Structure 1
Amino acid sequence: MLKEIKALLWKDIVLEWRHKYALNGILLYTFSTIFICYLSFEVLHARVDQFSWNALYWIIILFTSISTVAKSFIQEKEGRQLYYFNLVRPQSIILSKIIYNSGLLVLLAVLAFGVFSLVLGNRVQDPGFFVLIILAGTVGFATTLSLMSGIASKADNNGMLMAILSFPVIIPVLLMIIKLSRNAIDGIARSESLDELLTLLAIDMIVGTLAYLLFPYLWRS
């Protein structure tokens, strides 16, 4: 299975590099949204407070994640899916998608954090813990959205369906992330956030396990 996952990961990386316009479009979307937020506060002559800073950042990351992961299965043609079906195990496919999307979203989220801090100021008093939250949160987004993208691909490649199915699962993850990142922004001791962090990791593991167990049945259809 490891060889299959490595081969599928390399295939996704090569395709992403070959079609760089998709990644460039996502980067443009993210940075443009951050710049619009900056202009909005600049016009109002207002300084963005900690609550707004936190909310704006995670809203941007959420919609960037949806735009990024939406193409995971939707871009795969029916003939290519049949080829994969005869070549590799379905578990390898979903795991490779989750790993690839997790890496891509972590990269985008860290870049967005740097640009967001540069443009709107850095409100985070504990940057190390905030980066850890970014890792846990984006993995949760990638896992959930990868599974939902697989489901949506079986329904006439409806990208809107993926977003609708994802929100009920993502909302608890998003609320937990916002609470944890607020603690990092306020500089609260990390031990105070341990329970919430473990809960977030548990949600990531549960969704990942469900994707691993349920995707083979979805793939056979």
Structure 2
Amino acid sequence: MTSSEMFETLEEELQNLCDTIESRIDNKLVGSPFGESRKKLTSEIERDLQEGQNLLRQLESEARLAPVPYRHELTAKISTHRQNVSKLNNRYHGVLGSFGDRKNYMPDPRRTVLEGQRALERTSDSIARSTAVAIETEQIGNEVIGELGTQRETLVRTKTRLVDTDVEISRSRKILRSMYINMIYNKIILLGIIVIEVLILAIIIYWKWFR
């Protein structure tokens, strides 16, 4: 899983957690009587708020690993999520310290619509970001394929040159061997001529002085 995919997963998890906390505050905590059930509910909300802080820290870690062009955008999103978690924390403690009527904490339909719009915008941004990452990945893949093709052509040309060089070396060896054989042959002929001349000279001396 890439850094961007992990960020989207954590972001979705945090948003679902915030929705759960808000629902527990508005629909369960407000106006609930004091007792074990309320105590259990507050423990669950506090645990969820703590989990929200943990998710924020994980989002910050993933943002630091993201490509530089997206890092500023992710940081802005984290800031928005941090504000939402802070608001929920303030609302939670406000409800705990208040004995007001449940109606004072009923969800505002207008706010609900706005939150739905924001959720839709987040989804659209997530799709756009995923599309951008996919396009960037495709471009990188095409560049790598092109580079590999160029390297292959270079290797083929190098191999061809090596084959040609080997052929030239073999031809040179044959020429040198032929020259060496001719040199030996010429030496033998020269030696034969010298021997013949010595014999002729010996015959002449013998004929002239010993006859």
TM over 0.5: no
Query: Could you state the TM-score of these two structures normalised by the residue count of structure 2?
Result: 0.32
TM-score, length basis structure 1: 0.31
Q: Which has the larger radius of gyration?
A: 2
Give the structure, 1 or 2, with the largest relative contact order (CA under 8 Å, sep 6 or more): 1
